[in-house]
Amino acid sequence: MDLYRNDLRVTSRCTADEEKALARRWKDGDDRAGNKLIESCLPFVIKVAREYRRWGAPLEDLVQQGNLGLLRAAKSFDPDRGCRLLTYAAYWIRAEIRDYVVRGYRIVRLGATRTERRAIRAFRSRGFKTVDELIEESGMPVARAHMLWPLLQKGDVSLDYTYQDRDSMFDRIDSHTASPEEVVGHDQEIAILRGKMQAIVNGLTDREQKILTKRIIADKPLTLRELGEEFGVSKERVRQLELRTRAKLRSRFEAQTAA
């Protein structure tokens, strides 16, 4: 962070006219102009990031998030509206930093409102002992404060955390995967079904088995004409044989599954 700040000491702020010229060149495709425009505002990001150090986040992380906000603002900045880039970007810089510190405080999302953010910041800096102190300091509604209070006190708990030799929370989450017993039962059902299907196929004639493999279940089935030429019969006769084979398969399969 010290090296980063030292590098920025040689960075100078752009005048209003220089800023407009750089922004217009950047919109025309000059990336070097865009880099110079953004770099001239980087010291301001550090200044804003310092305001949020009391939240407990590392300054370098706050600066990084603020730089993201600056980049977002610069991409949508219109130099012809008579507003300086820093004035326009201040909101985006603060919004990115606030969102980061709120997300970084807990996995469960808190701080969605300004009052909640004030309460979280006060709790972290002063460590209130009672919920009444939190209400008085932040001005949060009583009902919401009582809901927020246990979350602030306990913090997040790892799913791997165990208590008094009990299973971890992760182990107690319902699994969507099948149990070993279910896997074995499923495999047995598949094996039985395959055995029945094989017995049905074995009961077909040679011609019916060819119709099954080359027409009914083939990835690229032969046409009736192609199969008729192989059998030495007309395609209409093949169609009749196929219908008879399908009917035989259906009736025998129903008989097997009903047994």
How much is the pTM? 0.41
Give me the pLDDT at residue 243, please: 92
What is the per-residue pLDDT for 162? 54
Is residue 23 within 8 Å of 29, Cβ to Cβ?
no
Q: Which residue ranges of the chain lie beneath pLDDT 70?
A: 54-56, 102-114, 123-127, 148, 150-181, 257-259
- Give exposure, 144-159, as e/b (b: 16+ Cβ within 10 Å): ebeebbeebeeeeeee
Plot region of 111 (φ>0 → left; ψ -120 to 50 → alpha; else → beta): left
Side-chain half-sphere of 179: how many Cα atoms within 13 Å? 4
Question: Residue 107's pLDDT is what?
Answer: 39
Tell me: the pLDDT tens digits for 9-44?
777 788 888 888 888 888 888 888 888 888 888 888
Residues in the chain: 259
